[in-house]
């Protein structure tokens, strides 16, 4: 049966900060404003650009390029490394502004959020006016150089699409009456969730434009194009119905590290793994979880990739428990090649019940109490005040970074805010 | 160009009742006085229990990143920028 367009009044607002990391840096340092600036993981030719400024984008510089590639497009770009504390502070301020307008605010990443007004739609709520007010407040309360895009729609997909129509500093609304007009002016790749791989699949099925996509029957999308329920969800999303889940529960906690110079030295790799598991363990304990699974992956200098995950019966909570399991897996690599990127994640999470009795109460309980005590010392005197012995002299390795497009880190940030207010 | 400094510096601060803002007014670095004309951003960082205030501010020609330790009441000039490519 054909599904008609969603004719309801739009109730979702997507707010997206323009070139967030670069704009906040330019807000902080006025001499950098209106200049081609990039935020790169490392300020070296091979460093990956994580955020170009609006001016840098005009030169064709894009996220994911290396600094070297950026310099080929604009020889005088300014390169800075990320300032995670600045971005986190700005995120908390945005969130505070959004919470003044809706009780239902879902962060989508450090610079994006969805505001749901569905509970207030019985009143004469003017979302366009609220959108303009939020823009004004961001400028006055965070900084005059900080701008955002606001999109309004009947589902998260259309709200995000609306927010991308007029960058930077736009405000757009997509409703049933202008939906086709929008679809006629964008490409498949402009739709959130369609990457080049999905575009190729759609093309193979004779779908070349968003209007072709809209007109494709549900069965074709489900059985031919996506070969899963995802096709059916796209059919609903394109018509303005909600098909995406707003909140994703934390299923895993992970850390990764890209090395400036690769290494195959087992001692060095062990030290990096210790720091990764310590950071991962801190996050696991801060969110009051235990875990049963560990997944380790390595990217080698020859661009080959290896990974392995293992689940066990006993729960892990302390850093030594996580580290031992991770190293056991890491030692199963078939070849000892030069590693350039390494990552570890823990999964199969369960709430930590500190008062649960175990058969091995004595040793387990003591280790966990020591872990909690060490965490309290680090909370009080600063991160890495107490560290495992093989992490000595590792201050400049595995630096603090903001994860791309993830909300897991934000849950951790909110958890740490809650912890800090206890003092 | 930007340069990491990480030196203790002399700072005079000012408190403005409008907006309830405390901010650096003047800093002395390398024997020269710099009058702060604008505060670009102020945020706090927790180092354990200690609160560190980071002031990103600018004079007519330079931008500074100043760090105020609320425990020891000390000022450190972390970085200086002039907006040119390095």
The token duo for A57 is: 């984008």
Edge-to-edge, what's the strand order for the sheet holding B63-69? B2-8, B74-81, B63-69, B50-58, B38-47
DSSP per-residue string spanning A335-349:
S-PPEEEEEEEEEEE
Q: What is the CATH number of the domain that holds A10?
A: 3.30.70.270
B4 and chain A in contact, CB less than 8 A = no
Confidence of residue A368 (pLDDT cuts 50, 70, 90): confident
Task: Look at residue B44 and tell me if it is in a domain.
Answer: yes
- The residue among A154 and A4 whose pLDDT is bigger is A154
* pLDDT, average across residues A40-67: 90
* pLDDT, average across residues A108-120: 88
- Contact: B82, A380; criterion CB under 8 Å: no
Where does a domain end: A149, A177, A205?
A177
Where does a domain end: A177, A197, A231?
A177
Task: Look at residue B30 and tell me if it is in a domain.
Answer: yes
Residue A6: what pLDDT? 87
- Contact: B83, A76; criterion CB under 8 Å: no
Residue A243: what pLDDT? 83
Residue A419 has pLDDT above 50, yes or no: no
B50 and chain A in contact, CB less than 8 A = yes
Task: Look at residue B56 and tell me if it is in a domain.
Answer: yes
In this structure, the answer to whether residues A114 and A260 fall within a common structural domain is no
The token duo for A5 is: 């367009």
Residue A356: what pLDDT? 57
* pLDDT, average across residues B29-54: 92
Task: Look at residue A212 and tell me if it is in a domain.
Answer: no
pLDDT digits (tens, 9 = 90+) for A269-285: 988 898 899 889 998 99
Residue A401: what pLDDT? 62
* pLDDT, average across residues B37-46: 92
The percentage of chain B sitting over the pLDDT mark of 90, rounded to a whole number, equals: 69
Give the Cα-Cα-Cα angle A95, A345, A329 (nearest 5 degrees): 175
Lowest average pLDDT, out of A261-270, A314-323, A400-409, B20-29, goes to A400-409
- The residue among A406 and B74 whose pLDDT is bigger is B74
Confidence of residue A421 (pLDDT cuts 50, 70, 90): very low
* pLDDT, average across residues A97-110: 90
Task: Look at residue B86 and tell me if it is in a domain.
Answer: no
B2 and chain A in contact, CB less than 8 A = yes
Task: Look at residue B55 and tell me if it is in a domain.
Answer: yes
For A77, residues 6+ apart whose C-beta sits below 8 A from its C-beta are A36, A37, A38, A56, A59, A61, A67, A70, A71, B85
Domain that holds residue B8: 2-81
Q: State the total domains in chain A.
A: 2
* pLDDT, average across residues A404-417: 60
Task: Look at residue A242 and tell me if it is in a domain.
Answer: no
- The residue among A72 and A167 whose pLDDT is bigger is A72
Place of tokens 């006055």: A140
How many pairs of residues across A and B have Cβ atoms under 8 Å apart? 67
Residue A59 has pLDDT above 90, yes or no: yes
Q: State the total domains in chain B.
A: 1
- The residue among A288 and A396 whose pLDDT is bigger is A288
Highest mean pLDDT of the ranges A172-186, A258-272, A342-356, A399-413: A172-186
Lowest average pLDDT, out of A141-145, A168-172, A407-411, goes to A407-411
Residue A37 has pLDDT above 60, yes or no: yes
- The residue among A412 and B46 whose pLDDT is bigger is B46
* Among candidates A29, A77, A383 on the partner chain, residue whose Cβ is nearest the Cβ of B81: A29
Confidence of residue A398 (pLDDT cuts 50, 70, 90): low
Task: Look at residue A188 and tell me if it is in a domain.
Answer: no
Confidence of residue A68 (pLDDT cuts 50, 70, 90): very high
Round to whole Å and give the CA distance between A271 and A268: 5
Task: Look at residue A161 and tell me if it is in a domain.
Answer: yes
In this structure, the answer to whether residues A18 and A156 fall within a common structural domain is yes
In this structure, the answer to whether residues A131 and A14 fall within a common structural domain is yes
Nearest CA in chain B to A416: B46
Give the β-pairing of A37-40 and A78-80: parallel
* pLDDT, average across residues B27-52: 91
pLDDT digits (tens, 9 = 90+) for A202-258: 999 999 999 999 999 999 999 988 888 999 999 999 999 988 776 656 688 888 888
Sign of CA dihedral A127, A128, A133, A136: positive
Task: Look at residue B60 and tell me if it is in a domain.
Answer: yes
Q: What is the CATH number of the domain that holds A273?
A: 3.30.1490.100
Sign of CA dihedral A149, A154, A157, A161: negative
Residue A314: what pLDDT? 84
Confidence of residue A55 (pLDDT cuts 50, 70, 90): very high
In this structure, the answer to whether residues A272 and A407 fall within a common structural domain is yes
In this structure, the answer to whether residues A268 and A368 fall within a common structural domain is yes
pLDDT digits (tens, 9 = 90+) for B18-36: 878 889 999 999 899 999 9
β-strand partners of A311: A293
Are the C-beta atoms of A275 and A268 separated by less than 8 Å? no
Q: Is the pTM of the predicted complex or chain greater than 0.80?
A: no
Task: Look at residue B67 and tell me if it is in a domain.
Answer: yes
- Contact: B41, A76; criterion CB under 8 Å: no
Mean pLDDT of chain B: 90
Are the C-beta atoms of A104 and A247 separated by less than 8 Å? no
- Contact: A89, B46; criterion CB under 8 Å: no
Where does a domain end: A156, A177, A198?
A177
Residue A396: what pLDDT? 59
Task: Look at residue A284 and tell me if it is in a domain.
Answer: yes
- 3-state DSSP call for residue A72? helix
For A178, residues 6+ apart whose C-beta sits below 8 A from its C-beta are none
- Contact: A29, B84; criterion CB under 8 Å: no
Mean pLDDT of chain A: 86
Round to whole Å and give the CA distance between A92 and A100: 13
Residue A293 has pLDDT above 50, yes or no: yes
Residue B75: what pLDDT? 96
The percentage of chain A sitting over the pLDDT mark of 70, rounded to a whole number, equals: 87
Task: Look at residue B24 and tell me if it is in a domain.
Answer: yes
Residue A423 has pLDDT above 50, yes or no: no
Residue A115 has pLDDT above 50, yes or no: yes
Domain that holds residue A264: 252-420
- Contact: B2, A86; criterion CB under 8 Å: no
């Amino acid at each position: 049966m054909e599904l008609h367009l969603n004719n309801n009044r739009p109730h979702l607002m997507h707010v997206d900060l323009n070139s967030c990391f670069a704009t906040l840096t330019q807000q902080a340092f006025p001499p950098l404003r209106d200049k081609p600036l990039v935020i790169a993981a490392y300020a070296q030719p091979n460093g990956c650009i994580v955020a170009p400024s609006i001016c840098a984008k005009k030169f064709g510089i894009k996220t994911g390029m290396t600094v070297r590639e950026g310099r080929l497009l604009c020889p005088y770009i300014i390169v800075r490394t990320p300032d995670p504390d600045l971005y986190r502070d700005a995120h908390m301020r945005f969130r505070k502004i959004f919470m003044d307008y809706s009780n239902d605010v879902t962060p989508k990443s450090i610079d994006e959020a969805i505001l749901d007004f569905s509970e207030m739609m019985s009143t004469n709520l003017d979302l366009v006016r609220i959108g303009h007010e939020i823009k004004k407040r961001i400028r006055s309360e965070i900084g005059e150089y900080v701008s955002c895009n606001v999109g309004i729609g009947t589902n998260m997909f259309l709200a995000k699409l609306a927010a991308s129509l007029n960058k930077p500093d736009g405000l757009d609304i997509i409703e049933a009456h202008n939906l086709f007009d929008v679809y006629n002016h964008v490409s498949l790749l402009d739709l959130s969730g369609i990457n080049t791989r999905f575009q190729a699949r759609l093309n193979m099925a004779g779908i070349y434009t968003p209007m072709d996509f809209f007109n494709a029957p549900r069965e074709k999308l489900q059985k031919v194009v996506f070969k899963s329920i995802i096709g059916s969800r796209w059919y609903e999303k394109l018509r303005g119905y909600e098909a995406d889940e707003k909140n994703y529960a934390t299923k895993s906690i992970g850390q990764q590290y890209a090395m400036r110079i690769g290494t195959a030295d087992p001692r060095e790799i062990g030290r990096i793994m210790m720091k990764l598991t310590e950071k991962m363990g801190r996050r696991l304990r801060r969110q009051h979880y235990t875990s049963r699974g560990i997944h380790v992956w390595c990217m080698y200098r020859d661009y080959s990739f290896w990974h392995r995950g293992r689940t066990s019966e006993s729960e892990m909570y302390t850093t030594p428990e996580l580290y031992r399991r991770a190293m056991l897996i890491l030692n199963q690599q078939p070849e000892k090649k030069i590693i350039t990127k390494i990552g570890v994640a823990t999964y199969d999470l369960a709430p930590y019940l500190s008062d649960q009795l175990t058969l091995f109460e004595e040793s387990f309980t003591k280790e966990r109490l020591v872990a909690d005590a060490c965490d309290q010392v680090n909370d009080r005197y600063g991160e890495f005040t107490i560290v495992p012995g093989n992490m000595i002299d590792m201050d400049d390795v595995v630096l603090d970074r903001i994860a791309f497009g993830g909300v897991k880190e934000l849950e951790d940030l909110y958890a740490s805010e809650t912890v800090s207010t206890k003092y | 160009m930007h340069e990491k400094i990480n030196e203790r510096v002399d700072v005079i601060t000012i408190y403005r009742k409008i907006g309830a803002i405390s901010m650096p007014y003047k800093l002395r670095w390398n024997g020269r006085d710099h009058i702060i004309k604008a505060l670009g951003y102020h945020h706090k960082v927790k180092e354990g229990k200690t609160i560190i205030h980071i002031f990103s501010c600018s004079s007519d020609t330079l931008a500074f990143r100043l760090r105020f330790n609320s425990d020891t009441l000390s000022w450190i000039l972390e970085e200086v920028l002039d907006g040119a490519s390095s």
